[in-house]
């Protein structure tokens, strides 16, 4: 799908990359050293002559590295696909990006020990897609998926209950939408899943997200939770 892609007129950033590294972007299909690949994938857009073309050039190797867990930067930097309008690419290319995100997410949920924390994969997928809905909808039950949900919910609810964003890095105006989608899912399907997984306290806290802030923290649950803890 992206074989043969290149950024033929790429000049790159001479302060951040060597001429040999920039030449990789102009040359299709040439393997890029892993450390250079990671730096390019997470580089800011204005360091490229044609950022979108450079991302298409790097995508086959980058997707493979993401699946293998060898792309350094997942979970703590903005992926280059967050910064390009990949949905405007030719239909087959855009469909391939979407299919990869869904497959990467599905594989992570089924893996008890994925190469990256599931929360980091979720955030990367949601940031690239600019929506959390397809990844939340795909969060089906299962031993590994349930364990990942409990772990992620515990981390997310710490911020969400205080009306803060649980997302660590965003260079996108989609953050508010993604947080709203996550909040809505946790109060309904997510809470039901948590309860079925035996995480009753997390399920109740997730349901409390539906209440206004003051009512949420005045709820009798907190006295019960304090007593049981």
Length, in residues, of the chain:
229
**What is the 3-class SS of 16-31, one letter each residue?**
CCCHHHHHHHHCCCCC
CA separation for the pair 116, 120 (Å, rounded)? 7
pLDDT in tens, 119-161: 999 999 999 999 999 999 999 999 999 999 999 999 999 999 9
The Cα–Cα gap between 120 and 72 comes to 12
pLDDT number for residue 12:
81
DSSP result, 164-212:
----S---STTHHHHHHHHHHHIIIIIHHHHHHTT-HHHHHHHHHTTS-
Q: Residues 109-115: what's their mean pLDDT?
A: 97
Per-residue pLDDT tens over the stretch 23-57: 999 999 999 999 999 999 999 999 999 999 999 99
Please say whether the beta carbons of 185 and 132 come within 8 A.
yes
């Amino acid at each position: 799908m992206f074989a043969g892609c290149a950024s033929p007129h790429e000049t790159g950033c001479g302060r951040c990359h060597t001429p040999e590294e920039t030449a990789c972007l102009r040359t299709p299909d040439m393997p890029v050293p892993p450390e250079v690949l990671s730096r390019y994938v997470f580089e800011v857009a204005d360091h490229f002559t044609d950022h979108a073309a450079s991302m298409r050039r790097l995508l086959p190797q980058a997707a493979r590295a993401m699946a293998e867990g060898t792309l350094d930067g997942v979970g703590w930097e903005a992926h280059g696909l967050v910064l390009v309008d990949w949905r405007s690419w030719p239909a087959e290319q855009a469909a391939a990006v979407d299919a990869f995100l869904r497959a990467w997410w599905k594989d992570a949920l089924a893996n008890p020990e994925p190469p990256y924390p599931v929360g980091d994969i979720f955030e990367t997928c949601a940031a690239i897609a600019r929506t959390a809905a397809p990844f939340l909808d795909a969060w089906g039950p299962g031993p590994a998926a349930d364990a990942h949900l409990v772990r992620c919910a515990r981390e997310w609810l710490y911020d969400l209950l205080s009306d803060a964003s649980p997302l660590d890095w965003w260079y996108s105006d989609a953050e508010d939408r993604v947080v709203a989608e996550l909040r809505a899912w946790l109060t309904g399907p997510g809470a039901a899943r948590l309860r079925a997984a035996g995480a009753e306290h997390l399920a109740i806290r997730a349901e409390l997200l539906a209440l206004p802030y003051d009512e949420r923290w005045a709820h009798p649950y907190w006295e019960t939770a304090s007593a049981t803890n």
